[in-house]
Chain A
């Protein structure tokens, strides 16, 4: 089975722009979670989607949004980029459903640099 894929792998944007990141989960997985990883704050949970619905949400401003499509692929969008949004954005997929299926498989991440 192919693993979790994220595109693009690297991205450079300027302040004020918006950006869309994409994540394709492992085939058959219905849950997709997004995390932001920075040297200062570490790994922080953004949100999780299951069957096209946002099921869990972290403490990030409304500039951060996401969605999930019927094929379980997910996108996250960051509007009005700030310098502090520079980070590695990780996507993780899981089978979803009961907690016994909750092991999350991570993608390689998208490295976003905001200038």
Chain B
């Protein structure tokens, strides 16, 4: 079974600064997908960024980028130029290959607060 660990329960950052959220996972699979989801207070969870394990290039989406280290089973999220709207719970998630990709395993989450 896969496990996902987020070692930082809470983090804070000043507006406009950069912050990195950590995530490690354990799996015996070779082909899989990794995701970062954002859940703002009392709002719906939305996908921030995804990474296919077979791709060596790190995914980027505007101010969001990942550092994917497959051998170390590490998948960190970097948020640049932090904005107040980035305040949310961030979840790292693992999805296996094939049909099991729809069975996501989530970490416990990191509560990020962006301070003005």
Binding site for B on A (CB under 8 A): 3, 31, 33, 35, 42-45, 48, 50, 55-56, 58, 90, 94, 96, 99, 102-109
B45 contacts A90, C-beta separation under 8 Å: yes
B95 contacts A102, C-beta separation under 8 Å: yes
Does any Cβ of A come within 8 Å of B33's Cβ? yes
Which chain B residue shows the least CB distance to A107? B44
> B-side binding surface: helix, strand, loop or mixed?
mixed
A99 contacts B103, C-beta separation under 8 Å: no
Which chain B residue shows the least CB distance to A41? B108
> A-side binding surface: helix, strand, loop or mixed?
strand
In this complex, how many residues of chain B approach chain A with their Cβ under 8 Å: the count is 23
Binding site for A on B (CB under 8 A): 33, 37, 43-47, 50, 91, 95, 97-109
Interface centre among A48, A96, A102, A104 (most CB of B within 10 A): A102
Q: A90-B45, A107-B44 given as contacts; is B50 within 8 A of A33 (CB)?
A: no
A50 CA / B107 CA spacing, docked (Å)? 25
Which 5 residue pairs spanning A and B have beta carbons closest together?
A: A43-B106, A106-B45, A56-B103, A102-B101, A99-B101
